[in-house]
């Protein structure tokens, strides 16, 4: 299972259509264990669709997706196995509003891993400490700031001990002063060796954390490379235009 040479995520000519509209037009990508990938691109380019296919929130129509040796097919059993390996953090946090922070973290370990309450609580507190907000454990999401909510959401995913973390614009819904606290937590996670795919336009984060930056446009990966070359010498015209827009503004 853990052959280090084998990519932990493999996308092979993946296509995805919504009705007549093709959101992914043959995306191929290999991600090694421990790699950090930043995905950027204009709105509607298929970034969310691509990462949502990886934990099968969307079902792809063509090509192959293999996650940690498990090929994503229509078989339900495999999907649960994959979802245990893959954590996801959303732009809108999506915390369960009726549960406190610590209860949000405990829910999946208790229901999916059948963990006893006390053990689940200890695990939850451990991860709340890792995202630096153990003191907020008993507050409801509505009583937390956006940055705190997003850190709870990250901790909630980590409680399932995933091999891979997917982030879909995790800081886009945050006020500027809260972006850093979330990016810091993500940076720490990266330093610990987590495999990460991050859709973001925080180019500072891409420069300092990513091994690979991917630019998508119109359902395709247009350009990819390590951050140094990607930002210094983008070859594709669309990449240049896009970088010009987001780096100047």
Partner 1 sequence: MNFEIALVWESLPKIVEGMGLTIELLLISLTLGTALSVVLVLMRISGIPALVWPAFLYIYVFRGTPMLVQLFIVYHGLAQFEFVRNSVLWVFLREPFWCAIIAFSLNVAAYTAEILRGGIQGVDRGLHEAGRALGLKPYQRFLHVTAPIAIRLSLPAYGNEIISLLKGTALVSLITMYDITGVARTIVARTFAPYEIFVSAAIVYLCLTWLIQRGVGLAERRFGRYVRR
Ligand X SMILES: Nc1ncnc2c1ncn2[C@@H]1O[C@H](COP(=O)(O)OP(=O)(O)OP(=O)(O)O)[C@@H](O)[C@H]1O
Q: Which of residues 115-144 bind partner 1 (CB under 8 A)?
A: 140-143
Give yes or no for residue 160 binding partner 1 (CB under 8 A): yes
Q: Name every residue whose Cβ is closer than 8 Å to that of residue 230 and which is 6 or more positions away in sequence.
A: 213, 215, 223, 224, 239
Please tell me the count of residues contacting partner 1 according to CB under 8 A: 28
CA proximity to 104, closest of 119, 124, 74, 134: 124
Question: Could you give the angle at the alpha carbon of 63 between the alpha carbons of 59 and 66, nearest 5°?
Answer: 75
Least separation in angstroms between residue 198's CB and ligand X is 13
CA proximity to 89, closest of 138, 42, 55: 55
Choices 4-12, 36-44, 206-214, 222-230 (CB under 6 A): range interacting with ligand X: 36-44
Which residues sit at the interface with Mg ion, rule CB under 5 A? 48
Applying CB under 6 A, among 48, 100, 171, 195 the residue interacting with ligand X is 48
User: Binding partner of residue 92 among partner 1, ligand X, Mg ion, none, CB under 5 to 8 Å per kind?
Assistant: partner 1
Applying CB under 6 A, among 49, 55, 148, 149 the residue interacting with ligand X is 49
CA proximity to 194, closest of 37, 66, 5, 28: 37
CA proximity to 127, closest of 98, 160, 94: 160
Choices 44-52, 64-72, 138-146, 156-164 (CB under 6 A): range interacting with ligand X: 44-52
Least separation in angstroms between residue 98's CB and ligand X is 26
- Compute the distance between CA of residue 85 and CA of residue 177 in angstroms, rounded to an integer: 32
Least separation in angstroms between residue 79's CB and partner 1 is 9
Q: Which CB atom, from 17 or from 94, has the smaller least distance to partner 1? A: 94
Q: Which CB atom, from 131 or from 154, has the smaller least distance to Mg ion? A: 154
Least separation in angstroms between residue 81's CB and partner 1 is 9
Alpha helices in the chain (DSSP H): 47-54, 76-85, 101-111, 117-130, 146-158, 176-191, 203-209, 227-232, 237-248
Q: Which CB atom, from 105 or from 178, has the smaller least distance to partner 1? A: 105
Beta carbons of 39 and 50 less than 8 angstroms apart: yes
Applying CB under 8 A, among 35, 45, 49, 55 the residue interacting with partner 1 is 55
Beta carbons of 79 and 72 less than 8 angstroms apart: yes
Which residues pair with residue 115 across a beta bridge?
none
Least separation in angstroms between residue 70's CB and Mg ion is 25
Q: Which CB atom, from 48 or from 55, has the smaller least distance to ligand X? A: 48
By the criterion CB under 6 A, which residues form the site for ligand X?
18, 21, 23, 41, 43-49
């Amino acid at each position: 299972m853990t052959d280090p040479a084998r990519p932990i995520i493999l996308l092979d000519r993946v296509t995805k259509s919504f009705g007549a509209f093709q959101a992914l037009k043959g995306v191929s990508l290999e991600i090694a264990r421990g790699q950090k990938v930043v995905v950027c691109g204009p709105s509607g380019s298929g970034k969310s669709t691509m990462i949502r296919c990886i934990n099968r929130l969307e079902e792809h129509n063509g090509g192959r997706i293999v996650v940690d040796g498990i090929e994503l097919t229509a078989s339900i059993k495999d999907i649960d196995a994959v979802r245990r390996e893959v954590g996801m953090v959303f732009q809108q946090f999506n915390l369960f509003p009726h549960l406190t922070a610590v209860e949000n973290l405990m829910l999946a370990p208790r229901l999916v891993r059948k963990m006893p309450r006390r053990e689940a609580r200890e695990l939850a507190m451990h991860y709340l400490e890792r995202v630096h907000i153990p003191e907020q454990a008993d507050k409801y999401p509505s009583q937390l700031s956006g940055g705190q909510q997003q850190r709870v959401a990250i901790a909630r995913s980590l409680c399932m001990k995933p091999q891979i973390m997917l982030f879909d614009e995790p800081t886009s819904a945050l006020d500027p002063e809260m972006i850093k606290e979330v990016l810091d937590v993500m940076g720490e996670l990266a330093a610990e060796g987590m495999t990460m795919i991050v859709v973001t336009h925080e180019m500072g984060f891409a420069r300092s954390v990513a091994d690979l930056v991917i630019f998508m446009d119109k359902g395709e990966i247009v350009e990819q490379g390590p951050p140094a070359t990607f930002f210094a010498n983008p070859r594709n015209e669309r990449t240049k235009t896009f970088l010009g827009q987001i780096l100047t503004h």
